[in-house]
């Protein structure tokens, strides 16, 4: 497994791409309302990225039709932006990629549409809290499998299960690079495998299901749901390892 080490100048370029993703997610969070279609939301995101002079990286990636993955309710990832109307009480996952001068950004949130149930608030909080708690836990020399183990235990402790078969990943000149970072471990010993080093840049993305993390891909060939058919949540940040700790790149600078 060849995990790239990025130079400071390269991390700066990656930070630019990721800040644009963060600004776009913030814009959508503030402006998406009940009654909009997923296609309209996608266009809002694509147009906002264009205004920042970055390219929507997901559009056409592996054949995906939109610049924003719009994952509604039971869809955890890769939801296609179509004419489905979002309604009060829905929850919507928004996953966005950008490309700036050959460098990529990637982040995701799950947002409420209007007022949502306490159950859905707790579901969203699990993926968000797992992400930020894991980022705080990262240090140079930690093994990636230890990070996966931490994410899995956090999700299980909240009473949920991680989606299986999909994972976080490295990022740089390509939107998906080594390593793969699942939200679970299959090995009995997480203290093995590659270690986290200064200069590495990667995406962490807890994908949370209620009871069964077995993935089912819908007829559209993209949308992923869990076998239990219940609602799901997803959060993601791109981080760089700087001075031994993880720094979030996909956030808006104060």
Three-state DSSP at 11 gives: helix
Q: Where in the chain are the domains?
A: 8-248
Looking at the DSSP bridge assignments, the partners of residue 99 are: 55, 104
In which band, very low, low, confident or very high, does the pLDDT at 2 lie, cut at 50, 70 and 90?
confident
Q: Is the pLDDT of residue 254 over 80?
A: no
What pTM did the predictor assign?
Answer: 0.97
Of residues 232, 234, 235, 236, the one with CA closest to residue 214? 232
Of residues 102, 93, 188, the one with CA closest to residue 145? 188
108-127 burial, b at 16+ Cβ within 10 Å, e below that, comes to bbbbbbeebeeebeebbebb
In which band, very low, low, confident or very high, does the pLDDT at 253 lie, cut at 50, 70 and 90?
low
Q: Is the pLDDT of residue 29 over 90?
A: yes
> How many of the other CB atoms lie within 10 Å of CB of 41?
23
Kindly state the percentage of the chain with pLDDT values over 70: 99
In which band, very low, low, confident or very high, does the pLDDT at 188 lie, cut at 50, 70 and 90?
confident
Q: Phi and psi for 6 in degrees, rounded to 5?
A: -95, 140
**Runs of H (alpha helix) within 52-143:** 118-137
> How many of the other CB atoms lie within 10 Å of CB of 30?
9
Burial label, 48 (beta-carbon count in 10 A; 0-12, 13-18, 19+): buried
Angle (nearest 5°) at CA 221 between 216 and 226: 15
Kindly state the percentage of the chain with pLDDT values over 90: 96
Burial label, 76 (beta-carbon count in 10 A; 0-12, 13-18, 19+): buried
Cis check: omega of the bond before 179, within 30 degrees of 0? yes
What is the architecture of the domain spanning 8-248? Alpha-Beta Complex (3.90)
Question: Which distant-in-sequence residues (6+ apart) come within 8 Å of 42 by Cβ?
Answer: 66, 67, 68, 70, 81
**Runs of H (alpha helix) within 4-117:** 8-31, 38-51
Rg, Å, the chain Cα set: 17
């Amino acid at each position: 497994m060849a995990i790239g080490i990025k130079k400071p100048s390269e991390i700066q370029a990656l930070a630019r791409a990721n800040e644009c993703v963060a600004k776009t997610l913030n814009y959508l969070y503030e402006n998406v309302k009940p009654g909009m279609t997923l296609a309209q939301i996608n266009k809002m995101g694509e147009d906002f990225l264009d205004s920042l002079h970055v390219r929507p990286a997901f559009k056409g990636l592996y054949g995906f039709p939109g610049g924003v993955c719009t994952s509604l309710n039971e869809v955890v990832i890769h939801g296609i932006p179509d004419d489905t109307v979002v309604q009060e009480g829905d929850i919507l996952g928004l996953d966005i990629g950008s490309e700036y001068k050959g460098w990529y950004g990637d982040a995701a949130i799950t947002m409420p549409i209007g007022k949502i149930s306490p159950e859905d608030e707790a579901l969203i909080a699990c993926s968000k809290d797992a992400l930020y708690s894991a980022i705080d836990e990262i240090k140079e020399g930690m093994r990636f499998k230890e990070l996966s183990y931490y994410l899995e235990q956090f999700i299980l402790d909240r009473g949920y299960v991680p989606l299986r078969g999909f994972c976080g990943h490295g990022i740089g000149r390509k939107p998906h690079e080594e390593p793969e970072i699942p939200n679970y471990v299959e090995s009995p010993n997480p203290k093995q495998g590659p270690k986290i080093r200064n200069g590495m840049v990667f995406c962490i993305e807890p994908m949370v299901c209620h009871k069964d993390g077995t993935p089912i891909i819908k007829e559209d060939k993209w949308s992923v749901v869990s076998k239990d058919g219940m609602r799901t949540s997803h959060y993601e940040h791109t981080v760089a390892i700087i001075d031994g700790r993880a720094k979030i790149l996909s956030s808006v600078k104060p």
